[in-house]
């Protein structure tokens, strides 16, 4: 994983700040031991947890870091499709925040009620308000069920999205294992952009793999609102043709507009499809926290940021990470990107605390693996560099690419990638 500023350079800056004349002149007073700034991070996913960790790694005791997360554990969305395929359990993807606490991050299991950007203060559900010098918001996504007629709160109990790893992942797996052999699993994909572009196609592969092993007369029907497969097209088509012919059917230009949970039917513009298990992914937007804080600036869905710092264009002093952002050109909404966004923000905040300019040309990389069976995987990579003229991150020409073919070696790389990013995010 690349990050925008060398750690040694950051530590030098911190050391220089700590050794300044002002601090040295009062070294014997209690104030000398106070942090230079308090940074509060909201959201303990790949973006928020990474930001909290790197603020402590690079800033040491000079930065007081809070991480506010409603859940007691971190559950990885990457690899959660393997739970549906049967080769992983949800416990394999569940981790805690203990190492962040050991590093000095103050981790609070609480929920943010409101953000007052003018007062630089957040209100929480359980404890007293907290003031901040800089705020990082990593709110993830919200599923827009209201965009699909019939996708009511009651229908959501039966028709799952499972696009946030956790209890719904387990519940969807139970629906699949309980389904009759000869049944139909319907997966509906929304129009891009959405969280993890190749994720639905990986999911279709995993469910097809499970059916091939356990329910060979069952079918996977993929209804894609997009005109075509949006990521790793050739690799997925090859896997489906070689491994799941007769099991998996892919149909593009099929935007689900209505569903009936009781009859197990979904309706597109021209067609009606019936399934034993419906897995409908509605359109997505930035999480409710971003909406409530008025950080959403584009199409009532996404948050614009300054890509040199990840600072919101709508609120000074607030940095937005991950899937909630209006993505730069060709930048996917992925765990890898959220992890890199966090490092841009951490470096920029530390530079700001010291009165320095942010890195003028951050370079970050995306890596995304997809498991097409229990033993083979594929990948796509890309490199993104800041363009001062266009004020955004652009794909570096000739960088990145995709696997030449699926393989067991790629699967080993995918497993290693997961272990590495979990360690980089949580310690």
Q: How far apart are CA 352 and CA 278, in angstroms?
A: 49
Whether residue 28 has pLDDT greater than 70 = no
* pLDDT band per the 50, 70, 90 thresholds, residue 24: very low
Residues 6+ apart with CB under 8 A from 115: 121, 122, 123, 135, 137, 289, 292, 293, 318
CB-CB neighbours of 166 under 10 Å = 16
pLDDT at 34: 86
Phi/psi of residue 21, each to 5°?
-60, -40
Tell me the C-alpha distance between 8 and 153, whole Å.
51
SS3 readout for 39-108: EEEECCCHHHHHHHHHHHHHHHHHEEEEEECCCCCEECCCCCHHHHHCCCCHHHHEECCHHHHHHCCEEE
State the pLDDT confidence band at 17, using cuts at 50, 70 and 90.
very low
Distance between CA 359 and CA 373 in Å, rounded?
Answer: 41
User: What single DSSP character describes residue 251?
Assistant: E
Tens-place pLDDT, residues 155-185: 999 999 999 999 999 999 999 999 999 999 9
| Interval 137-150: pLDDT, tens | 999 999 999 999 99
pLDDT at 33: 65
pLDDT (0 to 100) of residue 367: 96
Q: Which of 7-11, 107-111, 217-221, 350-354 has the lowest mean pLDDT?
A: 7-11
SS3 (DSSP) at 211: helix
What per-residue confidence (pLDDT) applies to 140? 97
From CA 193, how far away is CA 332, in angstroms rounded? Answer: 8
pLDDT at residue 53, rounded to an integer: 98
Q: Mean pLDDT in the chain?
A: 93
Average pLDDT (236-254) is: 98
Residue 225 has pLDDT above 80, yes or no: yes
pTM exceeding the 0.75 threshold for the entire prediction: yes
The span from the CA of 241 to the CA of 418, in Å, is 27
All structural domains of the chain:
7-142+285-357 (3.50.50.60), 144-284 (3.50.50.60)
């Amino acid at each position: 994983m690349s990050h925008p500023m060398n750690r040694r350079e950051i530590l030098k800056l911190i050391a220089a700040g700590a050794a300044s004349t002002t601090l040295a002149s009062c070294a014997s007073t209690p104030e000398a031991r106070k942090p230079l700034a308090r940074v509060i991070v909201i959201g303990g996913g790949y973006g928020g947890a990474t930001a909290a960790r790197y603020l402590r790694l690079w800033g040491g005791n000079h930065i007081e870091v809070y991480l506010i997360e409603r859940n007691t554990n971190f559950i990885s969305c990457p690899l959660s499709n393997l739970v549906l395929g049967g080769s992983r359990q949800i416990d394999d993807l569940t981790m805690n925040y203990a190492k962040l606490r050991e590093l000095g991050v103050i981790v609070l299991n609480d929920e943010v009620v409101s953000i007052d950007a003018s007062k630089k203060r957040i209100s929480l559900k359980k404890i007293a308000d907290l003031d901040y010098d800089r705020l990082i918001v990593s709110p993830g996504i919200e599923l827009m069920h209201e965009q699909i007629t019939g996708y009511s709160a009651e229908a959501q109990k039966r028709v799952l999205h499972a696009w946030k790893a956790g209890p719904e992942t387990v519940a969807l797996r139970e629906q699949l294992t309980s389904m009759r052999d000869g049944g139909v699993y319907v997966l509906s994909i929304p129009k891009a952009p959405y969280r993890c572009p190749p994720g639905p196609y990986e999911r279709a592969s995993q469910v097809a793999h499970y059916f091939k092993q356990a329910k060979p007369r069952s079918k996977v029907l993929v209804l894609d609102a997009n005109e075509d497969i949006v990521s790793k097209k050739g690799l997925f088509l090859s896997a489906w043709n070689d491994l799941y012919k007769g099991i998996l059917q892919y149909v593009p230009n099929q935007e689900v507009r209505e569903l009936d949970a009781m009859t197990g039917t979904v309706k597109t513009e021209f067609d009606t499809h019936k399934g034993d298990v419906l897995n409908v992914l509605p359109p997505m937007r930035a999480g409710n926290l971003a909406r409530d804080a008025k950080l959403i600036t584009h199409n009532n869905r996404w948050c614009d940021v300054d890509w040199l710092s990840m600072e919101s264009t709508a609120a000074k002093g607030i940095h937005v990470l991950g899937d909630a952002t209006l993505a730069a050109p060709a930048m996917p909404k992925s765990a890898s990107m959220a992890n890199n966004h966090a490092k841009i923000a951490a470096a920029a905040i530390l530079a700001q605390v010291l009165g320095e300019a942010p890195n003028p040309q951050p370079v970050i990389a995306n890596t995304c693996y997809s498991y097409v069976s229990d033993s083979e995987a594929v990948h796509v990579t890309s490199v993104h560099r800041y363009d001062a003229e266009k004020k955004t991150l652009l794909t570096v020409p000739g960088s990145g690419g995709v696997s030449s073919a699926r393989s067991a070696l790629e699967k080993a790389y995918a497993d290693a990638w997961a272990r590495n990013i979990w360690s980089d995010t949580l310690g």
